[in-house]
A and B are shown apart, each in its own frame.
Chain A
Amino acid sequence: DVKVTQSSRYLVKRTGEKVFLECVQDMDHENMFWYRQDPGLGLRLIYFSYDVKMKEKGDIPEGYSVSREKKERFSLILESASTNQTSMYLCASSMTGGSFYNEQFFGPGTRLTVL
């Protein structure tokens, strides 16, 4: 069974703190993604990675960075959290090629509140 896990379901941080969101997949997928999900705005891509140590900016990378040191783990970093980064963060993974090309498998999400 496909599994994408995220380190926290709920997180509360203060403005200016450095925040780490962790995502792990056990499907040996090449590609991993970070989205934020906001009501009325849908899912917006922050960053994605198609291989270890590789990363690409998505639509809204400002204020975020990522790290992918191992194939199964993709971390999202908020260098200095701000209140407008309060959101639901979704991690996803996908494989390249094969019959499931482009299908993304999602984690349960981390609801981050920045005070």
Chain B
Amino acid sequence: AQRVTQPEKLLSVFKGAPVELKCNYSYSGSPELFWYVQYSRQRLQLLLRHISRESIKGFTADLNKGETSFHLKKPFAQEEDSAMYYCALGNSGYALNFGKGTSLLVTP
């Protein structure tokens, strides 16, 4: 069965500190993984996807098939990074399977 686990409901870090939001998945096939972000009063939007291997707003995420993980990282957190982050798993079908989300709070 497909499953996405985000173990932290809330993550609080200081501005300038490194941040890592954890995501683990279970899927027997070849996964497509995404990070979506929802800023306060804004719609949910794609942050990054593993196949593009790019850095968006300083965030990166590496797919580790051995550990079945897709953790989101940023070396120096900014206050504007405070948001709700969702990890999502796609397959060869159409729907995405979302994790329960992690609320990131970056304090000055």
Do A and B make up one complex? Answer: yes
Of B34, B96, B101, the most chain A CB neighbours within 10 A belong to B96
Query: What per-residue 1/0 map shows which CB atoms of B5-49 lie under 8 Å from chain A?
Result: 010010000000000000000000000101000000001111001
Contact, CB under 8 Å: A42 / B98:
yes
Residues of A within 8 Å of B86, CB to CB, are 42-43
Contact, CB under 8 Å: B96 / A104:
yes
Q: From residue B52, how far is it (CB to closest CB) to chain A in Å?
A: 9
Question: Is A33's beta carbon under 8 Å from chain B?
Answer: yes
CA gap between A107 and B96 in the complex, in Å: 16
Of B44, B49, B95, B100, the most chain A CB neighbours within 10 A belong to B95
CA gap between A104 and B46 in the complex, in Å: 8
Question: Is A25's beta carbon under 8 Å from chain B?
Answer: no
A-B Cβ contacts below 8 A, count: 47
Cβ contact of A31, chosen from B6, B94, B97, cutoff 8 A: B94
Within 8 A of B (CB), among A9-49: 31, 33, 35, 40-45, 48
Residue of B nearest to A48 (CB): B95
Residue of B nearest to A108 (CB): B43
Residue of B nearest to A109 (CB): B43
Question: Is A64's beta carbon under 8 Å from chain B?
Answer: no
Contact, CB under 8 Å: B45 / A106:
yes
Given contacts A102-B90, A102-B94, A102-B96, contact A107 B43 (CB under 8 A): yes
Contact, CB under 8 Å: A103 / B46:
yes
CA gap between A103 and B46 in the complex, in Å: 7
Within 8 A of B (CB), among A88-103: 90, 92, 94, 96, 101-103
5 shortest A-B CB distances, which residue pairs? A42-B100, A102-B90, A43-B98, A106-B44, A31-B94
| Between-chain CB contacts (< 8 Å), 20 pairs | A35-B98, A41-B100, A42-B6, A42-B98, A42-B101, A43-B86, A45-B96, A50-B94, A58-B95, A90-B44, A92-B44, A94-B94, A96-B94, A101-B32, A102-B34, A102-B90, A104-B46, A106-B43, A106-B44, A108-B43
Residues of B within 8 A of A (CB): 6, 9, 32, 34, 43-46, 49, 86, 90, 94-101
